Chain A
Amino acid sequence: MTDVTANIVSAAPAGSTTRRGYWSGVARDGRKLGLWFVAPTLVLLLFIVIFPMGMQLYLSATWWTPLDGTPWYLAFESFNGGENYLRLVTDPGLWSALWRTVLIMAVAVPVQFMLGLGLAFLFIDQFPGRKIFYSILLTPMMIVPAVVGMMFYLLFQGTGPINNTFGLPASFSWLADVNRAMISVIIADVWQWTPLMFLILLAGMLGVPQDQLLAARLLGGSNWQNFRKIILPRMKPVIAIALVLRSVECFKIFDLIYIMTKGGPGVQTETISLYLYKQTFADLDWSYVAAIGLTILLVLSLAAARGLAYNAKKRA
Chain B
Amino acid sequence: MNAIEIRGVVKAYPKFTLGPIDLTIGQGEFFGIFGPPSAGKTSVLKLILGLLNHDKGSVSLGGADASGMEVADRNIAMVFQNLALFPHMSGRENITFPLTERGASQAEIAARLKAVSEVLHVDHILRKNPAQMSGGERQRVALGRALAADSRAILLDEPIAALDTRLREEMRIELKRLQRSNNQTFVYVSHDEEEVMAISDRVAVMIGGRIVQVGVPDDVYNRPNCMAVAQLIGSPPMNLFSGRFSDDGWHFECDAFAAPFPLPERTRPGEVGTLGIRPEDIHQTEDRGALSHEIGISSIEPLGGYTIVNAMLGGQLTKIRAAGQIVRADDHAKRVTFDTRRLHLFDAEANRI
Find B86's partner among A214, A218, A230 (CB 8 Å cutoff): A230
Residues from chain B with a CB closer than 8 A to the CB of A211 are 80, 82, 84
Pick the interface stretch among A56-64, A171-179, A220-228, A285-293.
Answer: A220-228
Complex: A225 Cα to B85 Cα, angstroms = 16
Find A225's partner among B71, B78, B101 (CB 8 Å cutoff): B101
User: Which residues in window 138-152 of B have CB below 8 A to A?
Assistant: 145, 149
B77 touches A219 (CB 8 A): yes
B82 touches A209 (CB 8 A): yes
Chief secondary structure at chain A's binding surface: helix
User: Which residues in window 63-97 of B have CB below 8 A to A?
Assistant: 71-72, 74, 76-78, 80, 82, 84-88, 97
Q: Is B98 an interface residue when CB atoms closer than 8 A count as contact?
A: yes
A215 touches B78 (CB 8 A): yes
Complex: A222 Cα to B101 Cα, angstroms = 8
Residues from chain A with a CB closer than 8 A to the CB of B97 are 216, 219, 221, 229
Interface size on B, residues (CB 8 A): 21
Least Cβ–Cβ distance between A214 and chain B, in angstroms: 7
A218 touches B101 (CB 8 A): no
Assess A209 versus B98: contact at CB under 8 Å? Given A217-B71, A217-B72.
Answer: no
B86 touches A219 (CB 8 A): no
A233 touches B71 (CB 8 A): no
B88 touches A219 (CB 8 A): no
Contact residue range for chain A? 10 to 19
B72 touches A220 (CB 8 A): yes
Residues from chain B with a CB closer than 8 A to the CB of A70 are none
Complex: A222 Cα to B98 Cα, angstroms = 11
Residues from chain A with a CB closer than 8 A to the CB of B77 are 218-219
Q: Is A234 an interface residue when CB atoms closer than 8 A count as contact?
A: yes
User: Which residues in window 210-269 of A have CB below 8 A to B?
Assistant: 211-212, 214-222, 225, 229-230, 233-234
B101 touches A219 (CB 8 A): yes
Complex: A209 Cα to B82 Cα, angstroms = 10
Assess A215 versus B80: contact at CB under 8 Å? Given A233-B88, A234-B88.
Answer: yes
B84 touches A214 (CB 8 A): yes
Residues from chain B with a CB closer than 8 A to the CB of A220 are 72, 98, 101-102, 149
Residues from chain A with a CB closer than 8 A to the CB of B85 are 212
Residues from chain A with a CB closer than 8 A to the CB of B72 are 217-218, 220-222
Residues from chain A with a CB closer than 8 A to the CB of B84 are 209, 211-212, 214-215
A212 touches B86 (CB 8 A): yes
A218 touches B71 (CB 8 A): yes
Jot down 18 A-B pairs with beta carbons below 8 A, ordered by A: A211-B80, A211-B82, A214-B78, A215-B80, A215-B145, A216-B86, A218-B71, A218-B78, A219-B77, A219-B98, A219-B145, A219-B149, A220-B102, A220-B149, A221-B97, A225-B101, A233-B88, A234-B88
Chain B residues proximal to chain A, CB less than 8 Å: 49, 51, 71-72, 74, 76-78, 80, 82, 84-88, 97-98, 101-102, 145, 149
Chain A residues proximal to chain B, CB less than 8 Å: 209, 211-212, 214-222, 225, 229-230, 233-234
Known: A214-B78, A218-B49. 9 other contacts (CB 8 A): A209-B84, A211-B80, A212-B85, A212-B86, A215-B80, A218-B76, A218-B77, A219-B149, A229-B97
